[in-house]
């Protein structure tokens, strides 16, 4: 990349993240989002970068996502070559490895599962798919069930072919735009119905090829210097909260806290997640990442020290953390009001790891607003904002960095054609713009002048606090469950009862339990269905940890800890604050 004196540096960072959906380390997948996002978003996001070789970006992966992507590719391969059922119920039904059930309850669940998407973009545009749902009274609007009790009873009289067609259409609708252009997919869509075993196996072959190719495609993009690959800690934990519950108090001094005074041995667990995350990352990509997007942009002084210990060049967080850090560092008021300091990496004290800060407004325009705009208008608006920032800095624009950070998978479901038109136009304009330079955090951590700040406020990209993961009754209860399990783990490990393999399995299972997503979903502001999915799986993961430790799980793990009840659109990660 070349740089002119007038170039404003722009970093687009796409965070690819799914939690660990398996029951224990090797059990069934409870939710299908890894492979569905794999054939839709992870594939399309690679295709956009491949199509625009002058475009540069950061792509961040959670290591537990990498492991699951790899596992799905292997399981689909074994299914297609040897007829071995996968650990995913939906794939087994699609392939015929499991017969379509005859009981109404199981058939109703298939209908409900095949509506789990944004219907206006993924059901309604396909008349054959929409018709399959309408004919039984289903609304086609997400998790809504069948229209009446009488119609539910009729599910028992439908042919197996009906459900095979429904499953086929659901997976066709989840294919990314780049895959939908293939002759096979075009043929299957034109066919509309009557999908036989050969049709469905051709679709599964495409899905397997796509899943198996994802990691190699991103590795190739990195090896040719177009993309910087970065990571989160292994199990996607909130590192500052593992380190010290007191980090909650930086932004929220008066909220309730868990009964436990802190997470036992939390700093050691944070180091484990970082170290093991690097091991997984290196196994798949052949290199150590230069930077870390700490889970949910959750930063603190102690977390920054841990990144320093491991010689990471950069990390990043949200605009709320920057504002809170400014307040604690005594930044000039005019710099805070104008956001001037937001566009420089920060250096805190003697720490060498640079901290970049997300421009929340620009990131949220992509995540929440542009999905209903015409792609050309959205790109023009976005670029105009960047040009305004460049004009604000004038001849010093090249010394500054605009950081746009958001999920690489969740927004596109709400865009026409999976965001194809918007991203295609965005990459085309940005990569050829005369006064904007697309870059990476690794490049800018070495190049852009760092701004000295006295104090890094503990917080996350959400509101600059940790309120999404701790501080309410349900979330605190979830932490107390985890603390009790960790105390049991420590006791069993200290007893020496576990052999090396048993210890490794229990330690990895503990890491799964420490993930952030469980706590995200606890709370009555979230949709009941999603809360139920995640809180049940969280309790299942804790029970599995106790099993691996050889200890009977406490009876409280049989009781739901959160019910939810919020609105269904509240169902993304970095789309949540719409």
CATH number at 341 reads 3.20.110.20
Would you say how long the chain is, in residues?
A: 578
Task: State residue 574's pLDDT score.
Answer: 47
* Same domain flag for 204 and 268: no
Encoded tokens for 186 = 């075009």
CATH number of the domain bearing residue 527: 1.20.1430
Q: What is the DSSP string of 511-531?
A: HHHT-SHHHHH-STTS-HHHH
Q: Determine if residue 470 is left, alpha or beta; phi over 0 gives left, psi from -120 to 50 gives alpha, anything else beta.
A: beta
Domain match, 478 and 446 both: no
For residue 6, the model assigns a pLDDT of 60
Is residue 398 located within the same domain as residue 482? no
Q: 230: which strand partners?
A: 60
Residues 253 and 185 in one domain: no
Please check whether residues 298 and 427 belong to one and the same domain.
Answer: yes
Q: 312 and 362 share a domain? A: yes
Q: Distance between CA atoms of 314 and 237, rounded to whole angstroms?
A: 18
- Check whether residue 434 and residue 292 sit in a common domain: yes
Pairing of strands 291-292, 401-407: unpaired
Among 153, 181, 214, the domain boundary falls at 214
Q: Same domain, yes or no, for 264 and 196?
A: no
Is residue 191 in some structural domain?
A: yes
d(CA 437, CA 433): 7
Q: How many domains does the chain have?
A: 3
User: Count of CB atoms within 10 A of residue 194's CB?
Assistant: 10
In a domain, 570, yes or no: no
Regarding whether 174 and 256 lie in a shared domain, the answer is no
Domain residue limits at 515: 473-558
Residue 312 and residue 439 in one domain: yes
If you count DSSP H runs as helices and E runs as strands, how many of each does the chain have, helices first?
A: 25, 10
pLDDT of residue 562: 83
Q: Where are the beta strands (DSSP E) in 188-232?
A: 227-231
The answer as to whether 99 is a domain residue is yes
Give the model's pLDDT for residue 488. Answer: 98
Residue 577 lies in a domain: no
Per-residue pLDDT of the chain (578 residues; tens, 9 = 90+): 444 446 999 999 999 999 999 999 999 999 999 999 999 999 999 999 999 999 999 999 999 999 999 999 999 999 999 999 999 999 999 999 999 999 999 999 999 999 999 999 999 999 999 999 999 988 666 444 455 565 677 898 999 999 999 999 999 999 999 999 999 999 999 999 999 999 999 999 999 999 999 999 999 999 999 999 999 999 999 999 999 999 999 999 999 999 999 999 999 999 999 999 999 999 999 999 999 999 999 999 999 999 999 999 999 999 999 999 999 998 888 888 889 999 999 999 999 999 999 999 999 999 999 999 999 999 999 999 999 999 999 999 999 999 999 999 999 999 999 999 999 999 999 999 999 999 999 999 999 999 999 999 999 999 999 999 999 999 999 999 999 999 999 999 999 999 999 999 999 999 999 999 999 999 878 888 888 899 999 999 999 999 999 999 999 999 988 887 765 444 444 443 32
In a domain, 513, yes or no: yes
Q: Is residue 93 part of a domain?
A: yes
**Which of the listed residues 403, 420, 453 is the one where a domain comes to its end?**
453
Q: Are residues 243 and 376 in the same domain?
A: yes
What would the two tokens of residue 295 be? 């889970």
Q: Identify the residue whose tokens are 């965001």.
A: 419
What are residue 228's DSSP bridge partners? 58
């Amino acid at each position: 990349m070349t740089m002119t004196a007038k170039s404003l540096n722009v970093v687009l960072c796409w965070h690819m993240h799914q939690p660990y959906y398996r029951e224990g380390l090797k059990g069934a997948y409870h939710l299908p989002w890894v492979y569905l996002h794999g054939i839709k978003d992870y594939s399309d996001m690679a295709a956009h970068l491949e199509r625009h070789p002058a475009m540069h970006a950061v792509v961040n992966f959670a290591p537990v996502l990498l492991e699951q992507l790899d596992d799905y590719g292997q399981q689909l391969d074994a299914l297609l070559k040897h007829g071995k059922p996968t650990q995913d119920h939906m794939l087994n039904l699609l392939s015929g490895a499991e017969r379509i059930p005859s009981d109404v309850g199981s058939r109703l669940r298939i209908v409900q599962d095949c509506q789990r998407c944004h219907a206006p973009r993924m059901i309604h545009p396909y008349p054959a798919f929409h018709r399959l749902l309408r004919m039984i009274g289903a609304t086609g609007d997400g998790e809504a069930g069948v229209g009446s009790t009488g119609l539910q009873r009729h599910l028992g009289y439908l042919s197996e072919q009906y459900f095979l067609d429904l499953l086929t259409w659901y997976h066709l609708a989840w294919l990314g735009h780049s895959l939908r252009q293939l002759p096979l997919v075009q043929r299957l869509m034109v066919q509309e119905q009557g999908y036989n075993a050969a049709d469905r196996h051709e679709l599964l072959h495409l899905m397997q090829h796509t899943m198996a190719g994802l990691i190699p495609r991103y590795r190739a993009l990195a090896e040719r210097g177009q993309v910087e690959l970065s990571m989160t800690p292994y199990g996607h934990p909130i590192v500052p909260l593992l380190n010290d519950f007191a980090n909650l108090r930086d932004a929220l001094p008066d909220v309730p806290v868990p009964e436990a005074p802190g997470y036992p041995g939390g700093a050691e667990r944070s180091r484990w997640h970082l170290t093991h995350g690097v091991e997984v990352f290196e196994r798949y990509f052949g290199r150590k990442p230069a930077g870390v997007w700490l889970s949910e942009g959750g930063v603190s002084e102690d977390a920054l020290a841990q990144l320093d210990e491991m010689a990471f060049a950069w990390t990043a967080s949200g605009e709320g953390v920057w504002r809170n850090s400014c307040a604690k560092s005594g930044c000039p008021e005019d710099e805070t009001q104008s956001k001037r300091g937001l566009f420089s990496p920060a250096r805190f004290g003697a720490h060498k790891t640079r901290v970049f800060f997300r421009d929340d407004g620009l990131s949220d325009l992509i995540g929440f607003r542009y999905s209903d705009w015409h792609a050309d208008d959205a790109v023009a608006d976005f670029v105009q904002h960047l040009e305004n920032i460049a004009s604000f800095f004038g001849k010093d624009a090249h010394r500054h960095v605009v950081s746009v950070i958001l999920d690489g998978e969740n927004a596109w479901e709400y865009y026409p054609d999976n965001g194809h038109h918007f991203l295609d136009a965005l990459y085309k304009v940005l990569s050829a713009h005369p006064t904007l330079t697309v870059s990476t955090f690794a490049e800018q951590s070495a190049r852009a002048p760092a701004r000295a700040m006295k104090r890094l406020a503990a917080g996350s990209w959400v509101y600059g606090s940790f309120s999404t993961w701790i501080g309410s009754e349900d979330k605190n209860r979830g932490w107390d469950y985890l603390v009790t399990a960790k105390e049991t783990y420590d006791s069993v490990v200290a007893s020496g009862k576990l052999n090396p393999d048993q210890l490794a399995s229990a330690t990895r299972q503990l890491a799964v339990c420490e993930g952030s997503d469980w706590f995200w979903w606890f709370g009555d502001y979230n949709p009941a269905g999603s809360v139920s999915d995640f809180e049940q799986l969280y309790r299942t993961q804790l029970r599995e940890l106790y099993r691996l430790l050889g200890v009977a799980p406490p009876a409280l793990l049989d009781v739901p800890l959160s019910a939810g009840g919020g609105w269904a659109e509240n169902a993304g990660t970095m789309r949540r604050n719409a």
